[in-house]
Structure 1
């Protein structure tokens, strides 16, 4: 590796990224999200992903830029550039996917990429995942970009290996569950949502997507401190998880946002009844270290297939429904003042 060909500016960026990754500690989801954001930036890419191996498939477990909407996507390892990279244990570059027989052209076209670099994340001779940077333009990446990613990959792999504690099953659990609340995270939510969507299309079944936004978290943090805020988030997660069916999924999507896949609802009456039940459970009295804290949430939904059949459309409609509820609650508070 000819490190002298990498500019001092890029070397400083690499050091900064490595420092930030190390500061994530054992938060595997945090490590992967940071890696996608920083590798996309440092290579001037249109997107990036970290993919984990599960049951012969690569799962988009963190994603940024043009890859973000494919979070949770599963692709077969065989007949892909990532699979070849894993087998050879070396970085690979595709300058033009249309002329490269090593790549899964169908998957590349679905994502909208025309060139990419894939780098295996190897620690102690074990491949713990793949980091991939993507561009909409053919010929975007240069050999310098490969060297940059190689320099970063060793520490990234080591930090991921430490976070997963040597076990593949533990790796996938940590990568798909929120470290604060213990419920599934954004990655697993989209993974399960894609699977549920495909199944419902085949079997013509309805299901619901619920968007839940915890109200007043900033006020709790400001009034009682961040420990109280964390306790409130955990309690909302516990109460929500306890209010849904076993076939349903509740996930923390980030911050004070939660998502629910209501797998068993058949119509609007059923999903509205489920929302009322969740809302009532969240609103029950809660105390932290002797302080009574009011828990509130704004909850909206979308129903497959009445509100749409595409993932992005359903997510958008559920969010719009939730924001309308939030606006209504704000109007009520203003009217009371």
Structure 2
């Protein structure tokens, strides 16, 4: 049986979940983060079943780099959990014939415990805890994880029922802007990398930081800051193609996955369009606010073929642009 402290922690998690309301993305991320300390896991994830795949839609700990990862539903233990609606325990991935051994080795996991997430009587995903050590989890851990899976499944149900949105839209899009969220962005980035490998075409990723948002929040309030974020999101959508994925990654951070690029100049043109669309000031409640953004780009495959590597390259270039802008402002230049 779970210990008293563990049961108290579950009660605390349940009370904190209630404060998140209908924010499905926030609910899922909170659950995977709390799972780490609750049962001593190295990583945790919520995978949703989408069109024959199990997709990592929330992740914490060692599972974070796998956000957006897709595994075939009929070749993974999480997929078996969804197909049967039963909780599953894997003591050692090296000897368990049910697992995708190659995927387990890539992530570095040896043991895991998985609970089904049921929505309106249908299992639509799974809550998974994982460890780099074999035999890490037992029935006590399964009991605790079942308590969390019941809570998150209920939260998912009410989030969808009262928001009027489709479950997968809420799980993959930012509540404020309606843009893709980080989970969907990583999913599309992984797909872009895979496509360049198969089709021998280029793709790209842009990392974008909205300049001066903190100052706007400090000087004019968060309501004005939120209006600036929404306006910036609309401007990004106006200058991106339908085949591209525009995402709000959190706070003032945005990203775009660009597909089917002919050459490096195409990604530079895309960054230039973002610069151009922000030349016009934003008028909100009779006051004008300047909107600008720092953009960093990485080209696939010339700058890398691993999502984390590409994001690092684009991030470094974005911060380089931001530093140059700050230096120019100090010198009184535009």
Normalising by the residue count of structure 1, what TM-score does the alignment of the two structures yield? Answer: 0.94
Cα drift, residue 87 of structure 1: 3.4
Secondary structure of the 1:263 match is strand
- Structure 1, unmatched stretches of 5+, are none
Q: How does 1:312-331 map to 2 (within 5 A)?
A: 312-331=308-327
Contact 1:128/1:157 (8 A) holds in 2: no
Does residue 191 of structure 1 match 2:215? no
Cα drift, residue 61 of structure 1: 0.7
1:256-300 CA distance string (max 9 Å, x none): 111111213322222112211111212421022222111111111
For the residues of structure 2 that align with 1:248 and 1:295, how far apart are their CA atoms? 22
Cα drift, residue 24 of structure 1: 1.4
Q: Give 1:251's aligned residue.
A: 247
For the residues of structure 2 that align with 1:248 and 1:268, how far apart are their CA atoms? 16
1:203-257 CA distance string (max 9 Å, x none): 1111111110011111111111111111111111110111112221110111111
Q: Give 2:176's aligned residue.
A: 180
Change (3 A) 1:97 1:213: same
For the residues of structure 2 that align with 1:124 and 1:285, how far apart are their CA atoms? 47
Change (3 A) 1:107 1:167: farther
Does residue 308 of structure 1 match 2:304? yes
Q: Give 2:59's aligned residue.
A: 63
Q: Give 1:84's aligned residue.
A: 80
Change (3 A) 1:169 1:113: farther
Cα drift, residue 128 of structure 1: 3.3
Q: How does 1:1-337 map to 2 (within 5 A)?
A: 5-165=1-161, 170-336=166-332
- Structure 2, unmatched stretches of 5+, are none
Cα drift, residue 76 of structure 1: 1.4
For the residues of structure 2 that align with 1:317 and 1:273, how far apart are their CA atoms? 18
Cα drift, residue 336 of structure 1: 2.2
For the residues of structure 1 that align with 2:120 and 2:263, how far apart are their CA atoms? 51
1:17-67 CA distance string (max 9 Å, x none): 112222211111111111111112211211111011111211111111111
Cα drift, residue 167 of structure 1: 11
Q: How many residues are treated as equivalent by the alignment?
A: 333
For the residues of structure 2 that align with 1:58 and 1:249, how far apart are their CA atoms? 20
Cα drift, residue 166 of structure 1: 9.2
For the residues of structure 2 that align with 1:169 and 1:266, how far apart are their CA atoms? 37
Cα RMSD after superposing both structures: 1.8
